């Protein structure tokens, strides 16, 4: 038995993103005497944060009024221009904003780095005496004898590949709380366990996801239009019967944030999201913005796309889910920061009231109710059929139907259909023999790049002498099923080149896992057709170190 230090708090928060930091700030605003800590697996706050990002400041206005005059970096670039293009292979059709429901407008929003916003929020939390521990991932959930969550255990440090302590071994700590808030982001590994243990998804649809891949570029100042926001749909995914879209945001300092989201419900196992992004950048309208510029950063993450019908039960004995752990992304708006922050604020208010009443480690169902009666629910219900309609009827017809459904819900309170159902992304992949391999163009090294070079721009680093954090439940499955049936899709859906099939000695192929490349996007945990891969936290501080993402 390893002796572990125990640290008691009133509230333990897992995840230093916008939801976790908003929870911490609101807790201290309501009751400054509360003892609150935030655990963050990244080397610093913001290191693992990646988003487009164009942000609705609604929740920020509620949490910290006057933020725009208080040094918040988000205030630097308000949205000034909103464009939506439907791309063909060589051209574009501009979609008039008047055709879209009013809530789709970006008027009053801001574009910038979500990572830098989180760094600023962390400063505000620390001013309120919140204790923040970067580089300490929550590795295990702690329960009492009655099955209630009583806190989390941080990961051990200094363990070799076989799990044996090295000379610099440091055991993880037990952080105990009256309540624990899980804000791990999309597909959090502890959240998965909580959903299973407490059957939190018994009355909702399964969560589904998109893979967002992003780059930052410094561009020619003559091409830069601060505050211009561009969204695209159509080509190139239209050629593989998949769907998703691109974004390009003109941010501060002659920099653009651009990226591409591929919905992970695609059927064709030869679809290669990274290469689809590289193709998209070569579109004439995108390329002419980037020409003469320089790429400075790269990264990827999974995005919740299930909408309102995929929100699970949010409370369980001893804890709650908030932010992307629960799944509050507004898919048509491509926004989830404001809803994540609001959920954290509601969690904080509920928890503070419960502690004041002398309660602890019970199920805070009033938090679940508060979310379902908030503007989060009102907003997400308006768009709850947008994703499934596009998924069912394709990019063109599905977009028209989704638009009609959103307009009807906005104007009359009902849509074209009842809330539609989802299928897990892992279940949608079909056999490789039903499709032809897709020939992707080679990168030119100017606009498009190869995958491993791209990973170097994520500044990812892991301690190599540690257990692999990408676990195979059955090591025979990749070569017995995934390779012969699905043509080894893990070699394509991973945006970091973690998985590759090799045969160095001619004895037959095997799956090689290059865990040191992992950017923590969780796509493998989501899309693996046999659900044989489990993502768990690596040693603290490992992973990407995103600047300004």
243-301 confidence digits (pLDDT tens): 999 999 999 999 999 999 999 999 999 999 999 999 999 999 999 999 999 999 999 99
Return mean pLDDT, the chain. 95
Separation of alpha carbons 543 and 40, rounded Å: 12
Q: Which of 54, 77, 232, 337 is catalytic?
A: 337
State the pLDDT confidence band at 399, using cuts at 50, 70 and 90.
confident
Query: Looking at the predicted structure, is the pLDDT value of residue 66 above 90?
Result: yes
**Active-site annotation holds for 518:** yes
Pairing of strands 81-87, 228-234: parallel
What burial letters (b/e) apply to 426-457, b meaning 16+ CB within 10 Å?
bebbeebeebeebebeebeeebbbebeebbeb
**Active-site annotation holds for 494:** yes
pLDDT at 402: 86
Query: Looking at the predicted structure, is the pLDDT value of residue 411 above 80?
Result: yes
Separation of alpha carbons 283 and 289, rounded Å: 10
- Lookup: tokens for 313: 């039960």
Percentage, residues of the chain above pLDDT 90: 87
Q: Which of 72, 460, 518, 537 is catalytic?
A: 518
- Lookup: tokens for 124: 């505000």
Q: Which of 154, 494, 523, 537 is catalytic?
A: 494
pLDDT by residue (tens digit) across 160-182?
998 899 999 999 999 999 999 99
Separation of alpha carbons 276 and 290, rounded Å: 17
Query: Looking at the predicted structure, is the pLDDT value of residue 1 above 80?
Result: no
pLDDT at 144: 97
Percentage, residues of the chain above pLDDT 70: 100
pLDDT at 230: 96
State the pLDDT confidence band at 128, using cuts at 50, 70 and 90.
very high
Q: Which of 51, 54, 232, 339 is catalytic?
A: 51
Q: Where are the domains of the chain?
A: 4-64+113-204+306-380, 384-417
Q: Which of 191, 325, 521, 537 is catalytic?
A: 521
Q: How distant is the alpha carbon of residue 509 from its chain centre?
A: 32
pLDDT by residue (tens digit) across 71-105?
999 999 999 999 999 999 999 999 888 878 888 88
Beta strands, E only, 377-502: 470-472, 499-502
pLDDT at 113: 96
- Lookup: tokens for 421: 């159902």
pLDDT by residue (tens digit) across 181-231?
999 999 999 999 999 999 999 999 999 999 999 999 999 999 999 999 999
**Active-site annotation holds for 324:** no
Pairing of strands 470-472, 209-218: unpaired
CA distances from 128 to 89, 340, 428, 449 (A): 52, 21, 47, 44
Query: Looking at the predicted structure, is the pLDDT value of residue 355 above 90?
Result: yes
pLDDT by residue (tens digit) across 451-463?
999 999 999 999 8
Task: Give every CB contact of residue 1 below 8 A, 6+ residues apart in sequence.
Answer: none
pLDDT at 52: 85
Q: How much is the average pLDDT of 395-399?
A: 82
Q: How much is the average pLDDT of 415-428?
A: 92
Collapse the DSSP code of 217 into the 3-class scheme (helix H, G, I; strand E, B; otherwise coil) and give the result: strand
Cis peptide before 53 (omega within 30 of 0): yes
**Active-site annotation holds for 524:** yes
- Lookup: tokens for 480: 């017995």
Separation of alpha carbons 186 and 380, rounded Å: 17
**Active-site annotation holds for 374:** no
**Active-site annotation holds for 301:** yes
Separation of alpha carbons 24 and 344, rounded Å: 8
pLDDT at 92: 94
**365-372 vs 375-382: helix axis angle to the nearest 10?**
50
- Lookup: tokens for 57: 């400041």
Separation of alpha carbons 4 and 171, rounded Å: 6
Q: How much is the average pLDDT of 128-136?
A: 97
Q: How much is the average pLDDT of 460-475?
A: 94
First and final CA of the chain: distance in angstroms? Answer: 41
**Active-site annotation holds for 51:** yes
Q: How much is the average pLDDT of 353-375?
A: 98
State the pLDDT confidence band at 530, using cuts at 50, 70 and 90.
very high
Query: Looking at the predicted structure, is the pLDDT value of residue 391 above 90?
Result: no
Return the CATH architecture of domain 4-64+113-204+306-380. 3-Layer(bba) Sandwich (3.50)
Separation of alpha carbons 524 and 516, rounded Å: 15
- Positive/negative CA dihedral, 526, 532, 535, 536: positive
Q: Which of 118, 204, 324, 524 is catalytic?
A: 524
Collapse the DSSP code of 263 into the 3-class scheme (helix H, G, I; strand E, B; otherwise coil) and give the result: strand
Judge whether 390 and 384 are in contact, CB under 8 Å.
Answer: no
Q: How much is the average pLDDT of 504-519?
A: 94
State the pLDDT confidence band at 151, using cuts at 50, 70 and 90.
very high
**Among candidate residues 32, 118, 85, 122, the one with its CA nearest the CA of residue 352:** 32
């Amino acid at each position: 038995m390893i002796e572990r230090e125990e640290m008691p708090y009133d509230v333990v928060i897992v995840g230093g993103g916008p939801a976790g930091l908003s929870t911490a700030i609101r807790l201290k605003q309501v009751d400054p005497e509360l003892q609150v800590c935030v655990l963050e697996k990244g080397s610093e706050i913001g290191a693992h944060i990646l988003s487009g990002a164009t942000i609705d400041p609604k929740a920020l206005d509620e949490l910290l009024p006057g933020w725009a005059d208080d040094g918040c970096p988000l205030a630097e670039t308000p949205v000034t221009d909103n464009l939506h293009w439907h791309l063909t292979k060589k051209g574009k059709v501009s979609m008039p904003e008047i055709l879209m429901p009013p809530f789709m407008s970006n008027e009053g929003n801001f574009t910038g780095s979500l990572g830098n916003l989180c760094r600023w929020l962390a400063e505000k939390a620390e001013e309120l005496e919140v204790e923040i521990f970067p580089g300490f991932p929550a590795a295990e959930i702690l329960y009492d004898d009655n099955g209630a969550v009583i806190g989390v255990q941080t990961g051990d440090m200094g363990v070799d590949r076989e799990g044996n302590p090295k000379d610099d071994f440091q055991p993880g700590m037990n952080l105990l709380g009256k309540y624990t808030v899980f804000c791990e982001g999309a597909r959090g590994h502890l959240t998965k366990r909580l959903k299973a243990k407490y059957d939190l998804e018994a009355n909702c649809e399964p969560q589904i996801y998109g893979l967002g891949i992003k780059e930052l570029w410094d561009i020619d100042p003559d091409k830069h239009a601060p505050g211009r926001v561009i969204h695209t749909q159509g080509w190139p995914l239209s050629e593989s019967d998949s769907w998703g879209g691109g974004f390009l945001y003109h941010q501060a300092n002659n920099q653009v944030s651009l990226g591409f989201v591929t919905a992970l419900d695609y059927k064709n196992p030869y679809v290669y999201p990274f290469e689809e992004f590289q193709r998209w950048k070569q579109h004439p309208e995108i390329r002419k913005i980037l020409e003469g510029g320089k790429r400075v950063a790269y990264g990827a993450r999974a995005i919740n796309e299930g909408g309102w019908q995929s929100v699970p039960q949010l409370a369980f004995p001893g804890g709650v889910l908030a932010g992307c752990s629960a799944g509050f992304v507004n898919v048509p708006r491509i926004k989830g920061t404001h809803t994540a922050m609001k959920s954290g604020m509601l969690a904080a208010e509920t928890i503070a009231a419960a502690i004041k009443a002398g309660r602890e480690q019970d199920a805070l169902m009033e938090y679940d109710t508060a979310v379902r009666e908030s503007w989060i629910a009102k907003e997400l219900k308006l768009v709850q059929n947008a994703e499934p309609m596009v998924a069912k009827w394709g990019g063109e017809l599905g977009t028209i139907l989704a638009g009609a459904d959103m307009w009807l819900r906005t104007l009359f309170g009902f849509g074209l259909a009842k809330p539609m159902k989802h299928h897990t992304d892992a279940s949608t992949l079909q056999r490789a023999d039903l499709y032809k391999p897709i020939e992707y163009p080679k990168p030119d090294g100017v606009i498009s790049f190869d995958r491993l070079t791209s990973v170097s721009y994520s500044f990812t680093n892991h301690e190599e002498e540690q257990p692999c954090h990408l676990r195979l439940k059955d090591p025979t499955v990749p070569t017995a099923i995934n390779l012969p049936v699905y043509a080894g899709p893990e070699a394509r859906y991973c945006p970091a080149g973690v998985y590759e099939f090799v045969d160095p000695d001619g004895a037959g192929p095997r799956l090689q896992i290059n865990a040191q490349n992992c950017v923590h996007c969780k796509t493998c945990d989501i899309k693996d057709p046999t659900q044989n891969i489990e993502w768990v936290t690596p040693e603290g501080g490992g992973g990407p170190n995103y600047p300004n993402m």
